[in-house]
Amino acid sequence: GAVVSQHPSWVICKSGTSVKIECRSLDFQATTMFWYRQFPKQSLMLMATSNEGSKATYEQGVEKDKFLINHASLTLSTLTVTSAHPEDSSFYICSASPSGEQYFGPGTRLTVT
């Protein structure tokens, strides 16, 4: 199957700082990627759709100025959590699809202290 990677796998940052998470499709090109957030023992919630070469589309209730998404190439999308706060601590997962089903990255666990 298709492979999607994320970096870093986990990150700890101090409140007020920004952190960038990368999502790469390793063996296919993806004009669209998706970012999800998963709080402990909860379901995945779609945050935004990352579109190569254009602005991301955010789901209702997601602050676009806080979660900056850049999809600069057909294999890379980045999510930057700006001015992170403890409530942003979560498991962030990206996904992409060569066709049909989505393939998910391994996730990035963000802890804001």
> Are 94 and 79 within 8 A, CB to CB?
yes
DSSP E strands in the chain: the ranges are 4-7, 10-13, 19-25, 32-38, 44-51, 57-58, 67-73, 76-81, 90-96, 103-104, 108-112
28 is an interface residue for another protein by CB under 8 A:
no
109 is an interface residue for another protein by CB under 8 A:
yes
Which of these ranges, 11-19, 21-29, 43-51, 76-84, lies near another protein under the rule CB under 8 A?
43-51
Residues 6+ apart with CB under 8 A from 67: 35, 47, 48, 58, 79, 80, 81, 82
- Complex with another protein: residue 43 or 65, whichever CB lies closer: 43
Provide the 8-state DSSP code for 88.
G
Residues 6+ apart with CB under 8 A from 65: 82
Which of these ranges, 17-25, 71-79, 82-90, 100-108, lies near another protein under the rule CB under 8 A?
100-108
Please report, as residue ranges, which positions from 46 to 75 form the binding site for another protein (by CB under 8 A): 46, 49
- Complex with another protein: residue 16 or 46, whichever CB lies closer: 46
Question: Could you tell me the smallest distance in angstroms from the CB atom of residue 94 to another protein?
Answer: 11
Residues in contact with another protein by CB under 8 A are 1, 32, 34, 41-46, 49, 91, 93, 95, 97, 100-107, 109
